[in-house]
Structure 1
């Protein structure tokens, strides 16, 4: 009986990596780890994505290249506060090291990027980057992911670029290895810490549960896909901002949380009126939190949906509105449990 194909997985301890390991149970998975041990992998290899030969000696590197059939590259700096140097060191330079390994191993590469690279107006090099007191700067992250994609595209290595939107927890339980930026915004909303929401009602909040993204990546690996770009998004079924707030209010009422929904205002109004007139008198911590909120919500100001490849032959079903609402409920329930906000969350009430 032939041995199972071998997959090298980076970022195995992250949100997507932890969800992907069970999906690759029919493969032999080598997890490249930096510090954190990864339960569930067939083998763990300590290395450094930013170092030559991934930090391995020549013999270990040659042995790895001889065994690997495919590389799934999930590792990335995903936070918006790490700064451009640290972000590019892993998301661009680290991708260059992985591309080199894929070439040396004659292996297929599955590179996880972000659907938000399509928001070309959000960049760390644009005007106004130093205004406000925010610590969250998504433009630096998106610049680094665009640079990582360029590394893959120009390498000549057979590769698939995978573009998920915001990854939330498991679609059924809401469980996730680490809360993400959207979770932080939802937690602030449930706690009544958002004085306003700088979005128009029709802004699309595109998110996809981690199990859907993991199943997509695993399907591509099993199929041996070797080129193209795959969008893993809700597409035109993404929740509108006003609908998300409505669902959050319904959830809060059922959970016994005292929630007064914040007012929705256009980002333009914030810059023209609220910032110059009102923000100067706010406490520094409140100004910083509001500035970080403005930076985060800039990702969702578009009304134009992302493309999506979900529902195409061989890939998981599309994320319809019902599933998106159910996944949001699961995420909110997990927040309430993990943050001990109140009593256990209620059962889902469907429209």
Structure 2
């Protein structure tokens, strides 16, 4: 039996990975998980997992207890990360660069026989062109946000480590390709919630803009394949839909239909689809007006919406790079529908919530100022 040391097992990808490996390879691998004491371990408690509680934000390279654990593992899968697109730079660096470097140092100090270090990154470390202007960072490269920059630097730390590594770069992760299922709901799923609650009156995206998505089982299968692959080589694997990516307008139309089908079935009023506006319109008309006249909640909405703009406005595809192993995902309409249907079934209180409109928020602000 081989031993795997895993970080991020309680996250979106980790929980799904654990369910899959327990189902298909329960007798082949022993799993040791590094978790924060504040982590929600409910989804991994029933599994055959040995939990080591530690401080993920500041791993001590002199931690002998953790070092003794790492000494006897065959693989490390590093999935833990600060995945917030709008996180402050120092927090992104701490969660995605410093943590990765500390883990590498511990592995090199205590384990000279590690077979593979598998690192979960993001395809957007080399994001295709969009309408949103990227920012130049201290390394001279351009990125959409601190998350992309910090994952890129995490990759660099691994590349110079002399470890046998596999870097896996998925684009935006959604539910299983067969039935849309997923165990935790972050990222794009937050958009579903905002739509249902009526706090998303518009989305910044061109009608022809694309969104690059991959199903979670494709990512998990890539991890498993590289655990089972006995070839020890340094490589990068990119999981994207690229030229097969759906249009944002298509995703929104399907989302509206499925959400309203669910609401009508449960005797609730249909909801309105957020208006798709161009980036130019947002910057010229919407943003300044809301900053000057909007309520506190409406201004907070701007902070949320801007985190999504780079990913909802792709005008080019991920270009093929011969140095990167690529796995392409080809979506179909049935898959997109299954994602929405699953989310509705698992989140009925949100799916059926009473729509809160911006007009109400506007009136509330006016009446508050009068009083």
Global fold match (TM > 0.5)? yes
Cross-structure match for 2:33: 31
User: Per-residue displacement from partner, 1:189-247 (whole Å, max 9, x unpaired)?
Assistant: 23332222110012222222322211221111111453211112222222211101110
Q: Provide the C-alpha distance between the structure 2 equivalents of 1:165 and 1:327, rounded to a whole number of angstroms.
A: 19
The Cα shift of 1:27 comes to 1.2
Conservation of the 8 A alpha-carbon contact between 1:202 and 1:241: yes
Structure 2 contact 239–327 (Cα < 8 Å) conserved: no
Corresponding residue for residue 92 of structure 2 = 87
Task: Provide closer, same or farther for how the CA distance between residues 342 and 47 of structure 1 changes in structure 2, counting only shifts above 3 A.
Answer: closer
Q: Do the aligned partners of 1:216 and 1:316 also contact (CA within 8 Å) in 2? A: no
Match of 2:336 among 298, 321, 325: 325
- 8 Å Cα contact 2:121/2:155 also seen in 1: yes
Does residue 1:68 correspond to 2:73, yes or no? yes
State the 1:307 CA deviation.
Answer: 5.7
Contact 2:4 2:74 survives alignment (8 Å): yes
Query: For 2:176 and 2:68, how far apart are their aligned partners in 1?
Result: 35
Q: SS of 1:178's equivalent?
A: coil
Which residue is equivalent to 1:163? 169
- The residue aligned with 2:16 is 19
Tell me the residue number matched to 1:131. Answer: none
Structure 1 position 295, deviation (Å): 2.6
RMSD (CA atoms): 3.0
Q: Aligned pair in 2 of structure 1 residues 318, 141: CA closer, same or farther (>3 Å)? A: closer
Contact 2:193 2:351 in 1 (8 A): no
Aligned pairs for 1:146-295 within 5 A:
146-172=152-178, 174-224=180-230, 226-255=233-262, 256=264, 257-277=269-289, 279-295=291-307
Q: Report the more deviating stretch, 320-329 or 284-293.
A: 320-329
Q: CA deviation at 1:94?
A: 0.6
**Distance change in 2, residues 1:279/1:342 (3 Å):** closer
Cα contact 2:259–2:341 (8 A) shared by 1: no
Give 1 or 2 for the bigger CA radius of gyration: 2
Q: Distance in 2 between matches of 1:337 and 1:308?
A: 41
Structure 1 runs not aligned, ≥5 long: 127-136, 344-351
Bigger CA drift: 271-280 or 229-238?
271-280
